[in-house]
Structure 1
């Protein structure tokens, strides 16, 4: 590549905008949008899922190539059931085949595998198609190592897992916890810890009082009510069940907003009924990201007593929105949440609770609701920390200079 020629990087991501957007997809777009096309030119191979989406289109600074079988406007639930789930299982082979043909014309300088599973196409390229593309591996996983490596779709190709960590030019992780994971998986090369960020202005935006009053009415909030909120996929690791059980140890005016969907939704609704708190838990389903700040603004405490967490960008979003946070001392959360008891040398940014402990979760909620001084210190410190360390301009600069620059 000549000095004045843009570097070409091929991204592997199982989903992407405009319809299928999570933390990893947001990170890709926010980073690539901030890197000039005359410096790095990005292409992407992702699954199509929905046949209304074009097979090829440019989104921001990324040329997106969609592959695999698709159906008309599938729901999120359909994507985790057969036959759409099978498409995810087949992604590594389909993506490797597409990459092989793209690389013949594009001659990529490098690749970017967004999460461990996205390393499989690169390993298949190496061993089946005798094509080697130097690559960056980004770790964004939120589950434990055992859970990720033992999932059904990964067990089929588990023998390829070791090479994923053997060949990266560099591994970038979004937390120190995941950096340790990379070492546990056998990676011996260069590591960079660069977290995800949030749009601080977006989450800190001010809404008209009438707009917030209307939303409070829609979720059934009375004047005396206090609202807990979680923005979580409804899966075991996010411990929504612990918050539901914690309500039994809190006054009746404490309600719980649950934003998100997932396979545990039915069992969580049953749990709320069995615990006698179904009238205090509001399951709101999928809420568009553009509406998220508004729901955070009407809430009093963000709570997610996670059983595992790669980083936990939802906590940082809540901090940016200016509400206090309750979490567990697991995974990447310890990079940004400091509890006055457990981290007396740092300014508090939230409260920690024990894992799988509803009473302790209730204790932390009571503390924040009852102690205005503590609440204000946590909010002030957290907002300052987010502005200084979790800004997308800073993250994109670090990715460009510390990660992508490592590719030949």
Structure 2
């Protein structure tokens, strides 16, 4: 049996981790023995358990980011992990720190694939130049999770070699899991009386996710719709500041920070919302937006990076100007004022998600990447 290693810096709860799990499963379906190697001691117990329950081998190197030894410690740990495995494939997710894991991995497999899960502007100009060189001369393939990211990576005048290396493999959905999910009763759980609207966010509480923009817009919306409630699903370094912002704006009783949830509960959580908001400042793909669409929910997302590709403005969701609470408030007000006018959006969003991003398409794309060198 052929062996493969998927390299990833951390194993938290996010789109990159979900894509890694889907990729590992697809490779396993192709008869490849897969090990997921995690460099740093930044792991979420729920996500670790999810991988293990799926039958995926995990190797946790347990390094501390910026810890003793730094670069040399990472090189040594990756070398010890990879050199005896006789790997047919190494797949590097999310090239960090710098591009070092990508460089090390080349020495341990004849087939090297790198995957980019962030917007191209996430890289410095120098980092982008190095990534283009490595994609052209060091890797067999460079996988991007969206056409938007691929175009940004290639730039205005890509070489023929770079164009041959870059492939687009978007994130996918398990539509059966979406269909089977039972909506969570947030009104009962949080003692929300009546049928007041519930607007939800799901994701990491980090600056680039734009939750502060959502809370500022929430304050504006509640001046017009004072009974609207806002549910924030997730954890992260921004949580204390966001809680302070909600309190400062007098929204403590309307904004509910409910913490993170197991991966298998996300669709149920979303189905309990009336509207989903994805207010990101940057997105390589935007998995939460896709999940909301699959659930047939009204969606408002920022007009930025790949979200403009995943969400068809006015058809499968509404897009607002990034980092602009007023623009977000206007979109939400449209949905809240006459929700029946946007009922078509629910159907169109669910159909688009299923047809374009169904998980059944992933194995074939992975097979072409691994076995087709042309």
Check whether TM > 0.5: yes
Say how many residue pairs are matched.
361
CA contact (8 A) 2:30 2:367 kept: no
| Counterpart secondary structure, 1:314 | helix
Q: After the TM superposition, which of the residue ranges 160-169 and 305-314 deviates more from structure 2?
A: 160-169
Q: 1:125 to 1:311 in 2, by over 3 A?
A: closer
CA deviations over 1:39-69 (Å, ceiling 9, x no partner)? 4332332237389999xx9775643322135
Residue 47 of structure 1 corresponds to: 39
CA contact (8 A) 2:286 2:310 kept: no
Task: Check if 1:307 corresponds to 2:281.
Answer: yes
Q: After the TM superposition, which of the residue ranges 35-44 and 187-196 deviates more from structure 2?
A: 35-44
Task: Check if 1:171 corresponds to 2:142.
Answer: yes
Shift of 1:228: 0.6
Partner residue of 2:316 out of 330, 345, 349 = 349
Residue 240 of structure 2 corresponds to: 266
Partner residue of 1:227 out of 191, 198, 202 = 198
Q: 1:121 to 1:132 in 2, by over 3 A?
A: same
Partner residue of 2:209 out of 238, 249, 271 = 238
CA contact (8 A) 2:120 2:152 kept: no
Partner residue of 1:9 out of 4, 8, 17 = 4
CA contact (8 A) 1:32 1:61 kept: no
| Counterpart secondary structure, 2:37 | strand
Q: After the TM superposition, which of the residue ranges 348-357 and 199-208 deviates more from structure 2?
A: 199-208
CA deviations over 1:148-199 (Å, ceiling 9, x no partner)? x59xxxx9x9997665444111111111121023224988242211110122
> Structure 1 CA distance, aligned partners of 2:373 and 2:246?
51
Task: Check if 1:123 corresponds to 2:103.
Answer: yes
> Structure 2 CA distance, aligned partners of 1:30 and 1:243?
30
Q: 1:305 to 1:162 in 2, by over 3 A?
A: same
TM-score w.r.t. length of structure 2: 0.84
CA contact (8 A) 1:122 1:133 kept: no
Q: 1:25 to 1:51 in 2, by over 3 A?
A: closer
CA deviations over 1:75-106 (Å, ceiling 9, x no partner)? xxxxxxxxx4435994x655543453455443
Structure 1: gaps of 5 or more residues:
1-5, 70-83, 341-347
Task: Check if 1:190 corresponds to 2:165.
Answer: yes
Residue 207 of structure 1 corresponds to: 182
Structure 2: gaps of 5 or more residues:
none
> Structure 2 CA distance, aligned partners of 1:131 and 1:253?
58
C-alpha root-mean-square deviation of aligned residues, in Å? 3.4
Task: Check if 1:362 corresponds to 2:337.
Answer: no
Shift of 1:361: 1.0
TM-score w.r.t. length of structure 1: 0.77
Q: After the TM superposition, which of the residue ranges 361-370 and 110-119 deviates more from structure 2?
A: 110-119
